[in-house]
Chain A
Amino acid sequence: MTRKLFIYSTLVFWIVVTGLAMTSVFWIPEKQDLAEAGEKIIPPAELAGHATPENCWMAIRGAVHDVSAYIPEHPSRPDIVLPWCGKESTEAYETKMKGRPHTPYADELLAKYRIGMLGKAP
């Protein structure tokens, strides 16, 4: 019984993971979002060029934020935050202490530093 449980649960896990990967490949974003946003599209290469404490951009949930001015005020140790400069940082933003995401307040704060949308790699 335990053997069957292991086999079936592992199979279902991989089917779901594959399904999520497929969704990401075939997902067509709603044009309305982009039109409403009307924001600058920042390619990953440009994002990567802003990876220092004084010039720190981060991509979170598809949007790019220039958080250079906020870095000194961030409550956690600099070595937790700084490695994410110039990178896609959604998972880090969602999994701070004890795996918790940032608060709605932090979300609002983050929105103030938004400078564009993350584009796809060429």
Chain B
Amino acid sequence: MHPWRLLSIPLLVGLFVALPVYWAYPDDLSSWRAVGIVLGWAGSGLLLASLLLMLREVRLASWLGGIERMTGWHHWTGLAGYLLLLLHPLALAAAAWIESPPLAWQLLSPVAQNWPVWVGWAALLFLMGGLCTTFASRLRYPLWRWLHSLLGMGVLVGFVHVLLLGIDAGAVFAILAALLMLVWRLIRVDAGAAAKPYVVRGVRRVAEAMVEITLAPLVRGMPAEAGQFVLVAFFRGPRYRGCGEYHPFTISAIDKDQQFRIGVKALGDCTRRMQALEPGVEARVQGPFGNFLLERPAKPQLWVAGGIGITPFLACLRNARVEHATRLLYLYRSEADAAFRDELETLAATHTGFSLEVRATGDAIPDLALILPGADELAGHECYLCGPPGLLDAVGHLLQLRGVPAAQIHFERFDFR
């Protein structure tokens, strides 16, 4: 990744924290009170940065190094902001404690207090509730998504707390910025205003619980490249009713007339319903995102695919010849899950410099020490991994143990919750 892209999010987050802290930096205050004020503004800045990082604009994602990276930082800035805002009232209470211990509780107590304190507590409880549900990974996605939005409400209520304290300029600016980003996300991403209309042209079953969908643009298509991914929502068809949620899918082929294909594996309620998709179903597509496999250096390569993770590699092979010695290790649970295996074997037979190794692993992660190439064979290789998070972690760890530098290990996770 280009150094500027690597630095983009840390710089942005630093700016979001430094500006409000500089603006509100307290002079001539007791140390605990000053700490409390700085924590409050730094936490608020982190939450605003977290809101910005949940946007899904193609250009913004490209500047910031991709949606996956943005999502990771969205989580960390959100949690860090929450931690600082937990410490904010405690530091103020510590300042009051020095004067008189009961005064510390007087400052925090929501009983017989005033609107700024009540609203401050409400904001903290919204953030607490929102984060509780964020970490409840077993919740169904639609419910999880709505409960997760409590966090956005917490941010807004938090800035109302600042407004009620009489800090008009800072609070109004922060409320407007938070509202802008929340409404932007709601309209452009969740309501699909940034999406383009497509229609399902074809559906092909490629494994027991996986179909390959061909999508054709209804107006002008998008300039996607093999290896990128898109967010797609399916709606109504002659006999099909989609769930209308945007899910990420890797492009598995780019066809003529700006049509493209995606692989859909039944992993949840919505993708299970997509197994019954039929031609004519309306779809909306956002993207394309990601640069996995796009900027490959001129070096020999090891590709490791787990299950549905085969799609970016397949797109690459379908749309261009490999230019450097490439070895693809394709792992799947059982023969019934071996999507595209016949096509990959044909490609291996016709592509010079491309070799394929396939393996049915069962339900557990296989003994990778036996499957992955040894340290000597890996020397000078760039490694590209795509598949379930557990497999990626295990493969990445073993590759590093075998001497592959972290900078030469590239992966795609698709964990956007």
B131 cross-chain contacts in A, Cβ below 8 A:
6
Q: Is the interface of A mostly helix, strand, loop or mixed?
A: helix
Is residue A2 contacting chain B, with contact meaning CB distance below 8 A?
Answer: yes
Alpha-carbon distance between A76 and B37 when the two chains are bound, in angstroms: 20
A80 and B166 contact, Cβ closer than 8 Å, known pairs A2-B75, A91-B117, A99-B37: yes
B90–A13 touching, CB < 8 Å? yes
Q: Knowing A16-B90, A21-B109, A100-B29 are in contact, say whether A90-B40 is a contact too (CB < 8 A).
A: no
Q: Which of A6, A16, A29, A76 contacts B82 (CB 8 A)?
A: A6
B114 touches A91 (CB 8 A): yes
Whether A62 touches B103, Cβ cut-off 8 Å, given contacts A6-B79, A10-B128, is: yes
A29 to B165: give the CA distance in the assembly, Å: 30
Asked if B352 is at the interface (CB within 8 A of a chain A CB), the reply is no
Q: Whole-angstrom distance from the CB of B129 to the nearest CB of chain A?
A: 11
Shortest Cβ distance from residue A77 to the other chain B in the assembled complex, whole angstroms = 9
Q: Which residue of B lies closest to A22 (CB)?
A: B105
Cα A7 to Cα B82 in complex, Å, equals: 12
Give every chain A residue within 8 A of B92 (Cβ-Cβ): 94
Q: Would you give the 0/1 interface string for A1-34, flagging 1 where the beta carbon is closer than 8 Å to chain B?
A: 0110111011001001100110110010100000
What number of B residues sit within 8 Å (CB to CB) of A? 45
Q: Is A110 an interface residue (CB 8 A)?
A: no
Shortest beta-carbon distance, B306 to chain A, in Å?
Answer: 23
Q: Which residues on the A side are within 8 Å of B106 (C-beta)?
A: 24, 88, 90-91
State the Cβ distance, A58 to closest chain B Cβ, in Å: 12
Main secondary structure of the interface of B (DSSP, over half): helix
Q: Tell me the bound Cα distance from A66 to B96 in angstroms.
A: 23
B414 nearest CB across to chain A (Å): 18
Q: Are A99 and B103 in contact (CB under 8 A)?
A: no
Contact indicator per residue, chain B 89-114, by CB within 8 Å of chain A (1) or not (0): 01011001101111111111100111
Contact partner of B100 (CB less than 8 A), chosen from A62, A91, A100, is: A62
Residues 76-104 of A at the B interface (beta carbon under 8 Å): 76, 80, 87-88, 90-92, 94-101, 103
Tell me which of A5, A17, A61, A100 contacts B103 (CB under 8 A): A61
Are B24 and A98 closer than 8 Å at their CB atoms? yes
A: contact size bracket: 20 to 34
Does A23 lie within 8 Å of B103, measured CB to CB? no
A residues less than 8 Å from B135 (CB atoms): 2-3, 6-7
Assess the A99–B26 pair: CB atoms within 8 A.
yes
> With A20-B108, A61-B99 in contact, do A100 and B37 touch (Cβ < 8 Å)?
yes
Residues of chain B within 8 A of A92, CB atoms compared: 114, 116
Is B244 part of the contact surface with A, judged by Cβ < 8 Å?
Answer: no
Nearest chain A CB to B166 CB, angstrom units: 5
Is there an interface contact between B86 and A9, defined as CB atoms closer than 8 Å?
A: yes
| Chain B, Cβ-Cβ closest to A23 | B101
Whether B28 contacts A9 by the Cβ 8 Å rule is no
- Asked if A99 and B83 make an inter-chain contact with CB atoms under 8 angstroms apart, the answer reads no
Residues of A within 8 A of B96 (CB): 94
Q: How far apart are B47's CB and chain A's nearest CB, in angstroms?
A: 15
Known contacts A3-B135, A24-B106, A61-B103: A100-B166 contact under CB 8 Å:
no
Chain B residues lying within 8 Å of A20, measured Cβ to Cβ, are 93, 97, 104-105, 108
* Residue B405 lies at the interface, judged by CB distance under 8 Å to chain A: no
Taking the closest CB of chain B, its distance from the CB of A8, in whole angstroms, is 10
CA distance A9 to B90 in the complex (A): 12
Please provide the 4 A-B residue pairs with the shortest distance between their CB atoms, ordered closest to farther.
A24-B105, A98-B24, A20-B105, A3-B135
17 contacts between A and B (CB under 8 A): A5-B83, A7-B135, A9-B83, A16-B90, A23-B102, A23-B104, A24-B104, A27-B102, A61-B103, A76-B166, A88-B113, A90-B106, A91-B107, A94-B33, A94-B92, A98-B23, A100-B26
Further pairs besides A13-B86, A92-B114, A97-B166: 11, Cβ < 8 Å: A6-B82, A7-B135, A10-B128, A21-B109, A27-B102, A88-B112, A94-B96, A97-B167, A98-B24, A99-B24, A99-B26
